[in-house]
Amino acid sequence: MCIETPFEKSNTVTMKNVRPKQTKEPTDLSQRAFDNIRQMLFHNELVAGQKVPFKDLSVQLGMSVTPVLHALKFLEFQGLVRREPNKGYFIEPLQLEEVEELYTFRSLLELTLVEITITKLDKSGEAELRAVHSAYLRSLESNLTHQKLIADRNFHLAIAQLSGQSIRLATLKNLFDMLHLKYKTSLGYVTSKQSNQEDHGKILDAILARDRDLAKSLLAAHIENSRIHACLNLQQMIAEKSQIQV
């Protein structure tokens, strides 16, 4: 199993699925535009509420406006951007209610998937989980927040992927996209070495022991703690922004 590094290459349904093979060149350009815009979102080069300068992006990426617009339409479908008639595309604003809903949905998905994973887990799956957990622990030594976010995400997706539930896995990946591409700046809690190291280690141990109730309980508490910190950080960000605008 290989969990793709997010935001380097799309982990969602790509534009290659939209058009037939004979239109390979524009499809590839749309995909490249899509991947580049995702990178910009992840690295805060495009931020919530900002108008997307798609004409400038097309020049920067060395392509026409058309594939950039194709990419933005797909991002609109994901809920990351919105189109305003006669005005253009904008990055969707931060919303506390949306974060609450995302974490509620995330909990529902992950708790059902971890139970299925435990029933299917074999020696190969055990090795994969240990490997992705080790990668997560190594990321904690880095000062780069985005590396920790990616490693945290990959740990959770590795558990989900072993369930073999492809539709729910794709939904979970899209959910992480929303959290990490739009709300990355409010997710500073995942860089907390002590709490996440302990949480992930305990969740892994419970899965390896095939203790479904304990694994679900630990995972639920971990996601809830993440939700609380994300919402508190976002509330503070919104409050600080409102003070600046006064």
- The domain 15-91 having CATH identifier 1.10.10.10: the answer here is yes
Domain residue extents for the chain: 15-91, 96-245
Average pLDDT per consecutive 10 residues, the chain (246 residues; last block may be shorter): 47 37 61 90 82 91 93 89 90 85 96 98 98 93 81 95 97 90 66 65 97 97 90 79 59
pLDDT at site 3: 46
pLDDT at site 160: 98
pLDDT at site 196: 61
Secondary structure class of 81 (helix, strand, coil): strand
In words, the CATH class of domain 96-245 is mainly alpha
pLDDT at site 41: 85
Q: Under a CB-based contact definition with an 8 Å cutoff, are residues 57 and 91 in contact?
A: no
Distance CA 122, CA 197 (A): 24
pLDDT at site 100: 92
pLDDT at site 95: 84
Please state the separation of Cα 64 from the chain's center in Å: 28
pTM of the full structure: 0.75
pLDDT at site 241: 64
pLDDT at site 245: 54
Number of H helices, E strands in the chain: 9, 2
pLDDT at site 64: 93
CA–CA distances in Å: residue 215 to residues 57, 104, 113, 182: 45, 18, 11, 29
> Across-strand partners of 81?
91
Question: Pairing relation of β-strands 81-84 and 88-91?
Answer: antiparallel
